[in-house]
Amino acid sequence: MGFPGVWMTESESMIYRVVPKCACSTIGQIMYFSDHGEFFDGDIHDAKTGLHKWSRDDSHAPIERAVHDRTAPAFTCVRNPYARILSSFFDKIAGIQRNGRRYRGNLVPQLAQRYGIDVGSPENDFDFDQIASFRRFLLFARDTIRWRRPMEPDIHWSAMSGHISTFIVNGGRYDRIFFTEALNDGMAQVLADARTPHQVDLANVPRFNESEGHGPKRAFKVSEYFDDLSRHLIWEIYKDDFQLFHYDFDDPDNKMPVGDIDLDEVHAKLGR
């Protein structure tokens, strides 16, 4: 299986397991800058050169060598599950993608037909019932993850623990797992452990949110999107994420973790 979702700097200074909707665009750009002294011109996910990516066949050998020999710090980043699933909805379901189209072509029309989801359109300023549509999307997300229908679960709303586990199961070990909510602190620790050709001034790194401006803004505080049923579904889908990464299930408006991540616990539970 190898190391799907893994990026590594060309200098082999750091290894990153991408977790979608967890600041991956910004992290990828920081890695690119640390090697080249400039940011990639465009969406870092589109970069064909300048970063090793497991999706490139020519990157397999250097990534495997660095992971197995542990010659560079390996890390990943997690995010509050409430905020992450909301971000997935507003970006991938309600938003328009960079190519000017809806995500995955006919996915949104299918959701409108099967789940009654209405996400409006740019022509009407995305005027729709955000709370009702999000809750219907959450039913769809649960169906894809629990029963793998009407489609396989999408990487943007699959559990973070599932993404993170592939690296461990296939022989990798994380040196750090940090929180999106404390991104600069986490990346500062990674950079301190890495030998990089260029220094990165984290205080002046922009946030590379590639979905910004392509869809509706969230109109309510997080807790208003989650009634009792929604919270039941969130626990069903993301129980491991809440428990392993110590996010607050009881208060959806508290985006900050309530404890530190125990790397030994993560490796023991996700390496089975």
DSSP letters, 233-272, are HHHHHHHHHHHHHTB-SS-TT--SBSS---HHHHHHHH--
Q: Which residue is listed with tokens 């401006």?
A: 213
Mean pLDDT on 76-83? 98
Phi, psi of 75 (to 5 degrees): -150, 165
pLDDT per residue as tens digits for the range 219-272? 999 999 999 999 999 999 999 999 999 999 999 999 999 999 999 999 999 997
Task: Look at residue 211 and tell me whether its pLDDT is greater than 70.
Answer: no
Phi, psi of 52 (to 5 degrees): -75, 135
Mean pLDDT of the chain: 94
Task: Look at residue 170 and tell me whether its pLDDT is greater than 80.
Answer: yes
Phi, psi of 30 (to 5 degrees): -65, -45
Q: Which residue is listed with tokens 């992290």?
A: 27
Peptide bond into 150 cis (omega under 30): yes
Residue type, 26: T
Q: What SS3 state is found at 26?
A: helix
pLDDT at 210: 60
Task: For residue 105, name the pLDDT band (cuts at 50, 70, 90).
Answer: confident
Task: Look at residue 1 and tell me whether its pLDDT is greater than 80.
Answer: no
pLDDT at 126: 82
Task: Look at residue 120 and tell me whether its pLDDT is greater than 90.
Answer: no
Task: Look at residue 213 and tell me whether its pLDDT is greater than 70.
Answer: no
- The three state secondary structure string of 56-118 is CHHHHHHHHHHHHHCCCCEEEEECCHHHHHHHHHHHHHCCCCCCCCCCCCCHHHHHHHHHCCC
pLDDT at 36: 98
3-state percent breakdown (helix, strand, coil) of the chain, nearest 5: 45, 10, 45
- Report residue 102 as tokens: 């809806």
Measured CA distances, 256 to 78, 208, 212, 228, 245 (Å):
11, 21, 22, 21, 11
pTM (two decimals): 0.95
